[in-house]
Structure 1
Amino acid sequence: MLKKYFGITLLGAMIALSGCETMPTQTSASQISAINQANLVQRTWTATQLGNSMLKTEANRQNLPYLNFDAATQTVTGSDSCNRLSGSYVAGRDTLQLGQLATTRMACLNNNNLDQKFHEALNKVTHYQVYGKTLKLLDRHGNLLIQFETPTAAR
């Protein structure tokens, strides 16, 4: 009889102790947010696509639009292909709110209104996705507004 109780007690203890095994931790929402924001900053993002149109550098056209995000100052700087721009931003896990952007006012000739189209797209941005060397700025419905590439991988 004692052997039976001892066996049941030992089996119960083994079951209880096996239930105490540590489980792998899941990445929390705040950790995902921090990772996404870290992937966004300290890189130069050059526009490769505006809506459904691919952007290519041509000999008679100035540089493509680009953006830089600075986490320390929460500022975004860059160019719309003609004028320099700067402003504030707030990034969340996958949300991106751009503040009012200040720009220079140079005449932009022969750029097929790329600067205006770029600003119109920036005004609609509500979300972002970063995958390796690609940044996608999206509207509130998840539609691609602008796609960027960077030569620098995440650090």
Structure 2
Amino acid sequence: MSILIYALISIILIELIVILYLYISNWRKSVKIDSIKSNIENLANEKAKVIAMESIEKARKEAVQQSKAVITGKVYEQFAPYLPNFKHNPKEARFIGSPIDYIVFDGIENNDVKAIYFVEIKSGKSNLTNREESIKKAVEKKAVYFETIYIDDKNNS
């Protein structure tokens, strides 16, 4: 009977050793998985930082290009009357800047205005804004008027 007890104890010890081995093996795998997860998270964070920095750099470059285009457009607006493709007398052009760039009083130099032009200066690939487009439509519909407003100094005191 003692051999049977020793055999039974031996089997139980072997099973305990196998269970302990499996537990340690699974624990090691778990540690490896956690380490792999951590490495993946670190790599993902680093990649996200790189992507963010590239996006910021791209946005900066685009902002600089846009700024250059705006500044170039503003310079062209100011010098437009002196450029070859400006078909009006520069002395008759009045820069207002907004909502359109120029009003040209054709003939004002001779005190005989024949026509009035609303002129918008564009450079590059820029298009009319919604506001500029609405002004163009109003002019095309001939919805342009002249108004005189008299100010009475007696009523202003």
TM bin (shorter chain)? 0.3 to 0.5
The higher relative CO (CA closer than 8 Å, separation ≥ 6) is in 1
Structure number with greater Rg is: 2
TM-score of the superposition, structure 1-length normalised? 0.33
TM-score of the superposition, structure 2-length normalised? 0.33
More helix by share: 2
More strand by share: 1
